[in-house]
């Protein structure tokens, strides 16, 4: 590892993986609650399990992004981090705040939590994905500002590259759009309108810049392809991302009371959102095919290619499936959405963080790559998790198609809960596939503890 201060990333990565495990456990709990309604009731009701599942996802990805940035920025800038102490302080603040929030969700009823955390001062709670108490939201802003200050100062005092610029743009955008979580108009249309500015402009906007930058960084390192070539692709990809993603916000404005032109704008521009993901896949494979060196860390290369393909399938193809207004009229809020959400988050964001961890962790532990044995185990975990996710997505898609058919298209539509009963077979299959995913995750974690004979030389 060229710079000592990159080492702070290790803490962020470890926290990310721990929270990832938590996310999967709660995913399994609520997956079971789909078919066994009072499982763990009243200790963990479905709505709480869901909240913990999605919030943990966001938090562990944020830990991953921050860790990735702390690792990437000093190396790109060719200078030590502006302040290692600040990075460590913020790590503990964020981890403790995150943990307390989860404990709050689980320990007390949500309304009580809202009362004790000052929700009546500024009402921000109770909205999907932005359920965090006010103090947690303020904490997130403080951590984000400190983090951005730290890495921006690092970039300013060092070399400026396209990758660090794109990463900064993405991270600043992440912070700026989070501010809309504090804006909660009484008018429900406006509420939803701006709610998407955080939710959509994160995952289909600025997060994609972070994804592109992290992927480009790892590809430069493992392939040795010229920086100029990779940067050119990065610029093309982020421009396409921003044009399609920002106007594509319209695909959430079909049925919430916004003017009709959003149906056209949303359909047309979001139909094009697969393009940047496709470009990313072509880019990743193209760079790996033209590699100038055989990097000993084959697992990291596998994750890099995997994230290209899975992001294209999950975010691109499964997004396109239900993005056109006439289709979405039927599929809105069904299991089709859940299918898309699972594969997109895994393919685009979970995998790119795991890719970054896979590349950086061995180096931070004093070797260019893990032993062959550890890498083989890691690749097993890659395939188990990825294939499990493909099947989770397929089962949910099947459930969704049936749901749309029985509940909405049919001449004699059935009630929601009746339909849920009829498609429970797919929920069972999804649950068992989820168990396979968990096994993959366990193998992934074990791969960090596998020692091997032939340890590669220290980087």
Partner 1 sequence: MSTESLALPATTGTAPPERRLAGDLAIWVFICAELLAFAVFFVAYGVARARHVDMFNTGQLTLDRNAGALNTVLLITGSWFVVQAVARLRGGDPGGSAGRLLLALACGGGFLVVKVFEYKAKFALGISLSTDTFYMFYISLTFFHLMHVLLGMVILALLWNSLRRGPGPTTLSSLESGAAYWHMVDLVWIILFPLVYVMR
Residues at the interface with partner 1 (CB under 8 A): 226, 228-229, 232-233, 235-236, 239-240, 243-244, 259-261, 264-265, 267-269, 271-272, 275-276, 279, 282, 286, 289-290
Residue 244 or residue 371: which is nearer to partner 1 going by CB? 244
Token pair listed for 69: 């940035």
Say which residue the tokens 């890659």 belong to. Answer: 382
Question: How many other CB atoms are found less than 10 A from the CB of residue 419?
Answer: 21
Instruction: Using alpha carbons, list the distances in angstroms from residue 99 to 22, 93, 143.
Output: 11, 10, 15
Instruction: Using alpha carbons, list the distances in angstroms from residue 168 to 119, 149, 419.
Output: 32, 10, 46
Smallest distance from partner 1 to CB 45, Å: 43
Smallest distance from partner 1 to CB 288, Å: 11
Residue 169 or residue 459: which is nearer to partner 1 going by CB? 169
Token pair listed for 73: 């920025």
- Sequence-separated (6 or more) residues with CB below 8 Å from residue 385: 346, 437, 440, 441, 444
Smallest distance from partner 1 to CB 289, Å: 5
Smallest distance from partner 1 to CB 172, Å: 22
Residue 279 or residue 299: which is nearer to partner 1 going by CB? 279
Instruction: Using alpha carbons, list the distances in angstroms from residue 170 to 164, 174, 180, 211, 242.
Output: 10, 6, 16, 9, 11
Smallest distance from partner 1 to CB 259, Å: 5
Smallest distance from partner 1 to CB 244, Å: 8
What CA–CA distance (Å, rounded) separates 455 from 1?
16
Residue 260 or residue 421: which is nearer to partner 1 going by CB? 260
Smallest distance from partner 1 to CB 280, Å: 11
CB 122 within 8 A of CB 134: yes
Q: What is the DSSP letter of 449?
A: T
Residue 141 or residue 169: which is nearer to partner 1 going by CB? 169
Question: How many other CB atoms are found less than 10 A from the CB of residue 212?
Answer: 26
Say which residue the tokens 């990743």 belong to. Answer: 284
CB 273 within 8 A of CB 312: no
Residue 127 or residue 227: which is nearer to partner 1 going by CB? 227
Residue 226 or residue 294: which is nearer to partner 1 going by CB? 226
Smallest distance from partner 1 to CB 261, Å: 5
Residue 233 or residue 349: which is nearer to partner 1 going by CB? 233
Smallest distance from partner 1 to CB 420, Å: 36
Residue 66 or residue 166: which is nearer to partner 1 going by CB? 166
Terminus-to-terminus CA distance in the chain, angstroms? 6
Q: Please choose, from the candidates 210, 172, 213, 170, the residue with its C-alpha nearest in 3D space to the C-alpha of residue 76.
A: 213
User: Cis peptide leading into 149, omega within 30 of 0?
Assistant: no
């Amino acid at each position: 590892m060229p710079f000592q201060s990159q080492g702070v990333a290790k803490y962020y990565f470890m926290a990310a993986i721990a929270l990832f495990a938590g996310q999967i456990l709660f995913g399994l709990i609520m997956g079971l609650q789909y078919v066994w309604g009072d499982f763990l009731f009243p200790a963990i009701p479905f709505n709480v399990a869901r909240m913990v599942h999605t919030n943990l996802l966001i938090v562990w990805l944020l830990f991953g992004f921050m860790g990735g940035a702390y690792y990437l920025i000093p190396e790109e800038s060719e200078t030590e981090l502006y302040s290692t102490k600040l990075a460590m302080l913020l790590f503990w603040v964020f981890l403790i705040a995150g943990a307390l929030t989860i404990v709050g969700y689980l320990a007390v009823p949500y309304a009580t939590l809202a009362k004790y955390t000052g929700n009546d001062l500024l009402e921000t709670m109770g909205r999907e994905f932005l359920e965090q108490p006010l103090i947690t939201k303020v904490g997130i802003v403080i951590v984000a500002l400190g983090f951005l200050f730290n890495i921006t100062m690092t970039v300013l005092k060092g070399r400026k590259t396209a990758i660090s610029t794109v990463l900064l743009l993405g991270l600043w955008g992440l912070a700026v759009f989070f501010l809309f979580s504090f804006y909660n108009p009484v008018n429900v249309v406006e509420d939803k309108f701006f709610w998407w500015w955080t939710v959509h402009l994160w995952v289909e906007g600025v997060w994609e810049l972070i994804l592109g930058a992290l992927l480009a960084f790892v590809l430069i390192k493992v392939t040795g392809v010229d920086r100029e070539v990779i940067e050119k692709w990065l610029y093309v990809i982020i421009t396409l991302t921003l044009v399609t993603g920002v106007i594509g916000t319209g695909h959430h404005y079909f049925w919430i009371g916004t003017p009709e032109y959003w149906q056209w704008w949303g359909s047309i521009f979001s139909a094009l959102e697969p393009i940047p993901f496709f470009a990313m896949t072509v880019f990743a494979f193209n760079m790996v095919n033209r590699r100038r060196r055989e990097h000993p860390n084959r697992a990291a290369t596998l994750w890099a290619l995997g994230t290209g393909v899975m992001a294209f399938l999950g975010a691109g193809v499964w997004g396109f499936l239900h993005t056109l207004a006439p289709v979405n009229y039927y599929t809105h809020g069904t299991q089709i959405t859940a299918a898309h959400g699972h594969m997109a988050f895994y393919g685009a964001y979970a995998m790119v963080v795991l890719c970054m961890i896979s590349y950086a962790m061995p180096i931070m532990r004093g070797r260019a790559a893990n032993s062959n044995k550890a890498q083989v185990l890691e690749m097993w975990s890659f395939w188990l998790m990825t294939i499990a996710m493909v099947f989770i997505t397929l089962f949910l898609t099947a459930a969704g198609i049936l749901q749309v058919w029985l509940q909405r298209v049919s001449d004699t539509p059935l009630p929601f809960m009746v339909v849920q009963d009829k498609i429970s077979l797919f929920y069972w299959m999804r649950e068992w596939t989820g168990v396979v995913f968990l096994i993959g995750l366990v193998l992934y974690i074990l791969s960090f503890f596998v020692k091997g004979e032939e340890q590669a030389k220290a980087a």
